[in-house]
Structure 1
């Protein structure tokens, strides 16, 4: 069952840490949004793998509209707005990378590494571009589009695949329903990625 979107009160995060990494500007939102994986690895479970069996999941690249803590609303082909009072705790590429890592680790037998462990035994590498992570105003849906690129451990083969998921938002484009819809769509994409990567 999909976990509900987590919101983090600003008071818990602390003003000092926020000022170092997020420029809030203007009115402070009542909470920050984050992604919560529907599936997570079992605590205490140990896995061992050779270098060739490991998987390093890299932070995806993203267009400028997603390299921010705000949530874009695509009005048409030429204009973008942002959801009022909605901010992520981190920019979407990093949040999405963590969610995919947790989902793949939970749903496959792979030993999943992130970029901090990358140089030890990177194995296969999953890179890609987070192309959409926001609201489509024309359909009133949350949209997540990820163009994946899997490079094998020897670097001799590259496989690409595009993943997309959409979730209805409801009648109001507001912070919490948009965040929940994006979390659901991101989890669908992560599950599809895990299925593609196999066991």
Structure 2
């Protein structure tokens, strides 16, 4: 009898220890699942149009008469969420602690479209299937949108391509804006990039108006 009692007592605590161990293991597993991972960047950069159509503004036209802004092309080193830094003629790095909130090609398209609406007053649409019906197509290649370490400057360079349906050959023109004396940090670079991108967008809009 005494032996039986001893065995019962010795077996009793084991399920408790096992349950405690399982609870701890589950907690550790859960904490791993909800971990936020690496520290997020200090700045998420975006482009915002300096000139916008006022609230209530109406542009009415047939879709065939619209200005269509297409996604610009870009090299792989630029068509990413990181901000390129030109170190020298053969080396490119990326700006620390800064990411675009969306790829710069798509952001520049939206910025250019909004600037065109504000400066031309015409119907402006973006990408999609509209290119098959629009009167004026605006595309091109985003050559540079980043920081030049040798010049301590932000540079935005865009090779625009304009196609007017039934109205002559394709036209191309290079546009550029430079903001000098920029500190190589996320916030000042982001502000300068927005300024330079708006400058280029205004130049393109004036070209289209002319």
TM-score (norm 1): 0.82
TM-score (norm 2): 0.77
Q: Does 1:113 align with 2:125?
A: yes
- Cα distance in 2, alignment partners of residues 52 and 189 from structure 1: 26
| Contact map agreement 2:177 2:197 (CA 8 A) in 1 | yes
Q: Does 1:189 align with 2:173?
A: no
**Among 145, 170, 178, which residue is 2:157 paired with?**
145
Higher-Rg member (1/2) = 2
| Contact map agreement 1:169 1:177 (CA 8 A) in 2 | no
- C-alpha RMSD over aligned residues: 1.8
More helix by share: 2
User: What secondary structure sits across from 2:128 in the alignment?
Assistant: helix
What is the total number of aligned residue pairs between the two structures?
Answer: 174
Cα deviation per residue 1:59-87 (whole Å; 9 max; x = unaligned)?
Answer: 10001111111000101111111110010
Q: 4+ residue stretches of structure 1 with deviation over 6 A?
A: none
Q: In structure 2, do the counterparts of structure 1 residues 137 and 42 end up closer, same or farther at CA, with 3 Å as the change threshold? A: same
Shift of 1:156: 4.7
- Cα distance in 2, alignment partners of residues 105 and 169 from structure 1: 31
| Contact map agreement 1:29 1:87 (CA 8 A) in 2 | yes
Which runs of 5 or more structure 1 residues have no equivalent in the other structure? 1-24
Q: In structure 2, do the counterparts of structure 1 residues 119 and 96 end up closer, same or farther at CA, with 3 Å as the change threshold? A: closer
Shift of 1:122: 1.8
